[in-house]
A = this chain, B = another copy of it.
């Protein structure tokens, strides 16, 4: 629906909203018309929260997770195990892993993956700061929790080599069948890995 809207304000809001991922022009128009029906305070509150989010967000100086404080609440939580550092690609992954309640250590957010095709090299992401942390803090295990993709594997391997001279155990997330998924729908590579890495039944 590439209808011209007879309002510059509406056109602009629809244009901006449809830049968001997964929001097309039709959905953007629906959202804009919804906002028009609401009180001005509601639209203002939404608009300001978006501006404030981007303008005032800050990052933890230690793990590079988002944080209101210089050091984030995970890094400064005395109950977290500082000997285990989980390496993730981005902030979203921290939230996802936290929701499993299975990791009780700290994080290190790379801010991306090595991807030569996209011009992203090791120095563009937080690998040096990870090596520094392992060198200077009492880290005993680094868990590589990157996506099982080409870029994830490349980054895993690069970090593994960088850490190989240091007295630290490097582990990677298990690859295998998805819980609840039927065997026949698993791809061959995943199924193969799950056979190689089979574990004692208990």
Could you list which residues of chain A lie within 8 angstroms of chain B, going by C-beta atoms? Answer: 1, 3, 5-10, 12-13, 15-17, 19-23, 27, 29-36, 38, 40, 42-57, 65-68, 72-74, 90-92, 95, 98-99
Contact = CB atoms under 8 A, between A and B. Distances in A.
A50 to B, nearest CB: 4
Given A6-B73, A35-B50, A46-B47, 8 more contacts: A6-B67, A9-B56, A10-B57, A13-B49, A15-B49, A20-B35, A21-B30, A29-B95
7 contacts: A6-B72, A8-B68, A9-B56, A9-B68, A33-B91, A38-B54, A48-B51
B68 A7 contact: yes
Nearest to A31: B20
**Which among A8, A38, A46 has the highest number of chain B CB atoms within 10 Å?**
A46
A118 to B, nearest CB: 14
Contacts of A15: 49
A20 B47 contact: no
Given A19-B42, A52-B9, A73-B6, A36 B91 contact: yes
A29 to B, nearest CB: 7
